Amino acid sequence: MPDRRAGTRATPQAVGPPRRRMSRTQRAREQRRRRQHDRHRRVARGLGMTLIALVAIAGVFLGSKFWHSKGPVVDFTGDGGQQVLIEVHEGDFTTAVAETMLEAGVIANVKKFLSAAQGNPAIAAIQPGFYRLRTEIPAATAVQQLTDPQSRVGKLVIPEGRQLDDTTDMKTDRVTPGVFTLIAEASCLELNGDRTCLDAQDLRRAAETEPPEALSVPDWALGPVIQLGSDHRRIEGLITAGTWNVDPTASAPTVLSSLISQSTAQLDKSGLPDTAAQQGMTPYEMLVVASLVQREALPHDFAKVARVIDNRLGQPQRLEFDSTVNYPLDRQEVATTDADRAKVTPWNTYASDGLPATPICSPGMDALRAAEHPEPGDWLYFVTIDKDGTTLFTHNYQQHLTNIEMALDNGVLDSSR
Residue by residue, DSSP assigns 48-69 as HHHHHHHHHHHHHHHHHHHHHH
What domains lie within the chain, and their CATH numbers?
82-153 (3.30.1490.480), 157-267 (no CATH), 271-410 (no CATH)
Which pLDDT value is given to residue 229? 96
Sign of the C-alpha dihedral, residues 285, 288, 294, 296? Answer: negative
Higher pLDDT, 74 or 129: 129
Q: State yes or no: cis peptide before 316, omega within 30 of 0.
A: yes
Residue 40: pLDDT band with limits 50, 70, 90: low
Average pLDDT over residues 327-351: 86
Average pLDDT over residues 140-150: 96
Which pLDDT value is given to residue 230? 96
How far apart are the C-alpha atoms of 184 and 190, rounded to whole Å? 14
Decide if 109 contacts 73 (C-beta within 8 A): yes
Higher pLDDT, 341 or 47: 341
- Beta-carbon count within 10 A of 94 CB: 18
Measuring CA to CA, which residue among 269, 204, 262, 203 is closest to residue 238? 262
Averaged pLDDT score across all residues of the chain: 87
Which pLDDT value is given to residue 189? 97
pLDDT in tens, 369-381: 999 999 999 999 9
| Amino acid making up residue 10 | A
How far apart are the C-alpha atoms of 309 and 170, rounded to whole Å? 27
Which pLDDT value is given to residue 60? 46
Strands 129-134, 152-153: pairing kind: antiparallel
Average pLDDT over residues 108-134: 95
Residue 235: pLDDT band with limits 50, 70, 90: very high
How far apart are the C-alpha atoms of 239 and 220, rounded to whole Å? 14
Average pLDDT over residues 26-31: 59
User: How many CA within 13 A on the CB side of residue 394?
Assistant: 12
Strands 129-134, 194-196: pairing kind: unpaired
Average pLDDT over residues 77-81: 93
pLDDT in tens, 2-23: 444 444 444 444 444 444 455 5
Decide if 404 contacts 413 (C-beta within 8 A): yes
Decide if 325 contacts 288 (C-beta within 8 A): no
| Position 69 pLDDT exceeds 70 | no
Sign of the C-alpha dihedral, residues 71, 76, 81, 83? Answer: positive
The 175-176 sheet, strands edge to edge: 175-176, 167-169, 331-332
- Beta-carbon count within 10 A of 154 CB: 23
Q: Give the range among 143-147, 224-228, 302-306, 409-413 with minimum mean pLDDT.
A: 409-413
How far apart are the C-alpha atoms of 340 and 348, rounded to whole Å? 9
- Residues with Cβ within 8 Å of 297's Cβ and at least 6 positions away in sequence, in order, are 304, 305, 382, 391
Sign of the C-alpha dihedral, residues 265, 270, 272, 273? Answer: positive
pLDDT in tens, 353-365: 999 999 999 999 9
Decide if 127 contacts 151 (C-beta within 8 A): no
Burial of residue 279 (number of CB atoms within 10 Å: 0-12, 13-18, 19+): middle
Global pTM?
A: 0.79
Max Cα–Cα distance, the chain, nearest Å: 164
Residue 348, beta-bridge partner list: none
Strands 194-196, 189-191: pairing kind: antiparallel
Of these ranges, 6-15, 93-102, 380-389, the one predicted with the greatest mean pLDDT is: 93-102
pLDDT in tens, 166-203: 999 888 889 999 999 999 999 999 999 999 999 999 99
Which pLDDT value is given to residue 43? 52
